[in-house]
Amino acid sequence: MNDAHDDATCQSSFPWRERLLRGRRWSGWGLSVYALALFTGTHIPNPERLLPIETNDKWLHCGAYFGLVFLLATWRSTKAPVTRRVTAALWTVTALVGIADELTQMIPGVNRHCDVFDWIADVSGSACGLLAWHLLRRRL
């Protein structure tokens, strides 16, 4: 009886912990949907009505990869701690995904172009996303 009371007290004292664990369960699905949307959005022909060709899209790249690496780190944290080595691996993976993304945009029919500055924005967004993830993790 005492154990049940202690468990109930612990759960009521830390309601945020239960919500955090529930969010972690959905992190894989969120990551999958986000990655699919990112790939689709970067490989459909450029919708000039939404984003004119002359527009500087570097902030879009930065924000997209910020979100990607943030979700990737969240998903990875459900499996094991995100150490410095894992952080470097996540950054490397997103940098390679950025390269693949830029190179596959050169496929005929996509009507996009490969731009090294887009990739630099991708990598910068990934670094900022990892920094924000670690700061938020410390805060929580």
- For the chain, the structural domain boundaries read 25-139
Q: What is the structure's pLDDT at 140? A: 76
In order of 102, 103, 117, the CA distances from 40 in angstroms are 13, 14, 20
Q: Which of 44, 59, 28, 51 is nearest to 101 (CA)?
A: 44
Question: In sequence order, what are the residues at sequence separation of 6 or more whose Cβ sits closer than 8 angstroms to the Cβ of residue 97?
Answer: 68, 122
Instruction: Specify whether the CB–CB gap between 66 and 123 falls below 8 A.
Output: no
Q: For the segment 63-98, what is each residue's pLDDT rounded down to a tens digit?
A: 999 999 999 999 998 888 999 999 999 999 999 999
Checking 14-22 for CB contacts under 8 A at 24+ apart, the result is 16/140, 20/140
**What pTM was estimated for this model as a whole?**
0.79
Q: What is the structure's pLDDT at 48? A: 64
Residues in the chain with pLDDT < 70? 1-17, 19-21, 23-24, 46-55
Q: What is the structure's pLDDT at 16? A: 64
Q: What is the structure's pLDDT at 114? A: 87
Q: What is the structure's pLDDT at 46? A: 67
Q: What is the structure's pLDDT at 112? A: 79
Q: Which of 114, 88, 120 is nearest to 100 (CA)?
A: 114
Q: What is the structure's pLDDT at 42? A: 84
